[in-house]
Amino acid sequence: MEYAIICLTAFGASLLTFFSGFGLGTILTPVMIIFFPAQEAIALTGIVHLLNNIFKLVLVGKETDKHVASRFGIPAIIGSFIGAYLLVYLSQNLFHYEYQFMGKTMEITFIKLLVATLMILFALFEILPWLKSLQFNSNYLSLGGLISGFFGGLSGNQGALRSAFLLRYGLTKEAYIATGVVIACMIDVTRLSIYFTASASYDYWENDLLLIMAVLSAFSGAFIGNKLLKKITLNFVQTLASIMIVALALLLALGVI
């Protein structure tokens, strides 16, 4: 059952994120957390996220705006490094709380609360009109990379902020998607290297079949997304996905999942 849920989520989220520039990590992370501890779930999602972005590079990489990618991406690497180290620290420290509900033990940890808060924050970027249309001055592009990378390293959620900054540049749809993919790859490589170093005792590859199936599902979503690129609008789908993210985040914060 967990394979089916994770693969369907990876497929749907990958299809969404192909157009929006974000969504795979935001949607897949809470589903992974249902079946794995928070830090491992973020790392496993990161593997799927990185490999899917590499696949998307093959599809649209030639449209990348190299100037924007470097100006945004280099600070993003620094931010991702800091955020990933903070995640490792927080996962090993601070409070842990349990309570009983309907005969089951619910567990609340600081890292779950943090990830849940960030999930709600990034979902609001697609629900609230004033956040959905938020754009930043192009002079703050490097700062945007630093902030986006930090949240990417901390929770795996960095696309919404990245999109808010990149939209200011007036890139074509193809260049916007391709440039976002390049930057996401830079952040993913950085944060995954920290996750793996800090949790060397955890065998991520014991879930190799699940990872392979999730990655192939994400590839399928990206492939179909590329075919539909000129035909689809996403306002309704993005809003629906954001509502689901908030619901999952609340369950996570309450220790239900």
Do 147 and 158 contact (CB within 8 A), yes or no?
no
Q: What is the pLDDT of residue 81?
A: 92
The mean pLDDT of the chain is 78
pLDDT band for 78, please (50, 70, 90 cuts).
Answer: very high
Q: What is the pLDDT of residue 38?
A: 73
Task: Report the Cα 72 to chain-centroid distance in Å.
Answer: 17
Residue entry with tokens 């990245």: 162
Do 160 and 27 contact (CB within 8 A), yes or no?
no
Residue 25 has pLDDT above 70, yes or no: yes
Out of 86-100, 102-116, 146-160, 240-254, give the one with best mean pLDDT: 146-160
Provide the Cα torsion 11, 15, 21, 24; round to 10°.
Answer: -20
- Rounded Cα distance, 46 and 162, in Å: 17
Average pLDDT over every residue of 10-21: 78
Q: In the chain, what percentage of residues exceed pLDDT 70?
A: 72
pLDDT band for 217, please (50, 70, 90 cuts).
Answer: very high
Q: What is the pLDDT of residue 233?
A: 58
Nearest to 193 by CA among 182, 183, 204: 204
pLDDT in tens, 171-215: 777 888 889 889 988 988 898 888 778 766 666 667 778 888 999
Is pLDDT larger for residue 50 or for residue 199?
A: 50
For every residue of 218-229, DSSP letters joined together read: HHHHHHHHHHTT
Amino acid at 187: I
Q: What is the pLDDT of residue 134?
A: 65
CA distance to 28, 190, 193, per residue, from 14 (Å): 9, 21, 23
Q: What is the pLDDT of residue 7?
A: 92
Q: What is the pLDDT of residue 95?
A: 61
Which residues lie below 8 Å from residue 246, measured CB to CB, with a gap of 6+? 119, 120, 123, 124, 127
Whether this prediction's pTM lies above 0.85 is answered by no
pLDDT band for 75, please (50, 70, 90 cuts).
Answer: very high
Is pLDDT larger for residue 102 or for residue 70?
A: 70
Task: Report the Cα 231 to chain-centroid distance in Å.
Answer: 25
Residue 128 has pLDDT above 60, yes or no: yes
Q: What is the pLDDT of residue 146?
A: 93
Beta-bridge partner residues of 66 = none
- Rounded Cα distance, 225 and 204, in Å: 28
For every residue of 140-200, DSSP letters joined together read: GHHHHHHHHHHHHHHHS--HHHHHHHHGGGT--HHHHHHHHHHHHHHHHHHHHHHHHHHTT
Residue 74 has pLDDT above 90, yes or no: yes
Residue 157 has pLDDT above 80, yes or no: no
Q: What is the pLDDT of residue 72?
A: 92
Among 75-79, 98-102, 176-180, 206-210, name the one with the lowest average pLDDT. 98-102
Beta-bridge partner residues of 109 = 96
